[in-house]
Amino acid sequence: MDLEDFERDNSRNQLLVSSVPDVCRTEDCCLGIDEAGRGPVLGPMVYGICYFPVSRKKDLVDLKVADSKTLSESEREQLFEKLNAAPDYIGWAVHILSPNVISTSMQQRAKYNLNALSHDTAIGLIQYALDAGVQLTEVFVDTVGPAEKYQEKLKQRFPGLDVTVRPKADSLFPVVSAASICAKVARDRAVKGWKFVEDLGDIDTNYGSGYPNDPKTKEWLARYLDPVFGYPQFVRFSWSTAQTILQSRAAPVIWADDEDAAAGSTGKSSSQPVLSSYFSSQKEDCQPKRHRFFQERLLEPLSDL
């Protein structure tokens, strides 16, 4: 797993893939999907897939892959090396979603929420495997949101595949456990090797787990708050934890699409004309209006500096 490209520019997403084993192009394969780092306010979210021929399911059980949450970091690394050491039949791919991309997706004008982002990333990875020539027949997914809906969505998107979406799939299906190990290892490595693009001097990287309820994480967030810029790109701005601190302690920033800004000092009526106003003759303003040349160009006279 070569994270060099991602470390060079961690403001973009990065897809990392193993080579595709030859048997996977000829034999029916199963594929597992899992994610790591969905909850933390810090760092990337990683989606992982693992695939191998259906006939080799037993070999995975022998490798003793298990739900990544029950394993220590070093155990996960070891298991990942085992998976990696079997390139004759196991293939994997991980998609690292930069915290910057998560922030900008969730906060753009046309909101793109985390579930949609997750679903699309999962779909993208299945499509990647298909495009790479993997003979997929079965897909196992750990659910995001209601399992039935998600399963329906995936089945509609991939009618040729047998899709199973289950909560806790990572402990039920070895192929999902393997995928979760790939994702978790990638996430750990990405966080560990995180290069801050911002000039923060000697930054204290003791930020705890990165989960919003971790007191260490909270303290770190409070410490590295810049009143103007907020946080380094390592932080997911869209998390309510980050937003609460920004709202209470950073300089207020008003965007054109902020709802309270639109209804702000002038009130709603001024920004939204009533339909009937178009049909009545224009009210004669007592004070002369600026000529439309200036109005259209938003030019105002200057009475003070």
Residues that bind another protein (CB under 8 A): 109, 228, 251, 254-257, 259, 261-262, 268, 270-273, 277-282, 287-305
- Closest to another protein by CB, 209 vs 277, is 277
* Residue 281: both structure tokens together: 């003759």
Q: How much is the CA Rg of the chain, to the nearest whole Å?
A: 25
> Rounded to a whole number, what is the distance in angstroms from the first to the last CA of the chain?
58
Q: Confirm if 233 and 100 have CB atoms less than 8 A apart.
A: yes
Residue number, 200 or 254, with CB nearest to another protein: 254
SS3 289: coil
Rounded to the nearest angstrom, the gap between the alpha carbon of residue 75 and the centroid of all alpha carbons in its chain is: 26
What distance lies between CA 279 and its chain's CA centroid? 48
Beta-carbon contacts of 68 under 8 Å, excluding residues fewer than 6 positions away, are 34, 36, 76, 170, 177, 180, 181, 183, 184
For residue 23, the minimal CB distance to another protein (Å) is: 44
Nearer to another protein, 120 or 258 (CB): 258
Cβ proximity to another protein: between 2 and 278 the closer is: 278
For another protein, give the closer residue by CB, 215 or 273: 273
Tell the smallest beta-carbon distance from residue 240 to another protein (Å): 20
| CB 303, min distance to another protein, A | 5
- Burial-class residue 135 by CB neighbours within 10 Å (0-12, 13-18, 19+): middle
Query: Kind and range of the H or E element at 128?
Result: helix 114-131
Specify the residue, 160 or 298, whose C-beta has the smaller distance to another protein: 298
From the CB of 266, what's the least distance to another protein, in Å? 10
Q: By the 8 A CB rule, do 161 and 14 touch?
A: no
Indicate the residue among 10 and 238 with the shorter CB distance to another protein: 238
- Least gap, CB of 232 to another protein (angstroms): 18
> Taking the CB of residue 3, how many other CB atoms lie within 10 A of it?
17
244 phi/psi in degrees, rounded to 5: -65, -45
What's the closest the beta carbon of residue 156 comes to another protein, in angstroms? 16
CB 200 to another protein: min, Å: 16
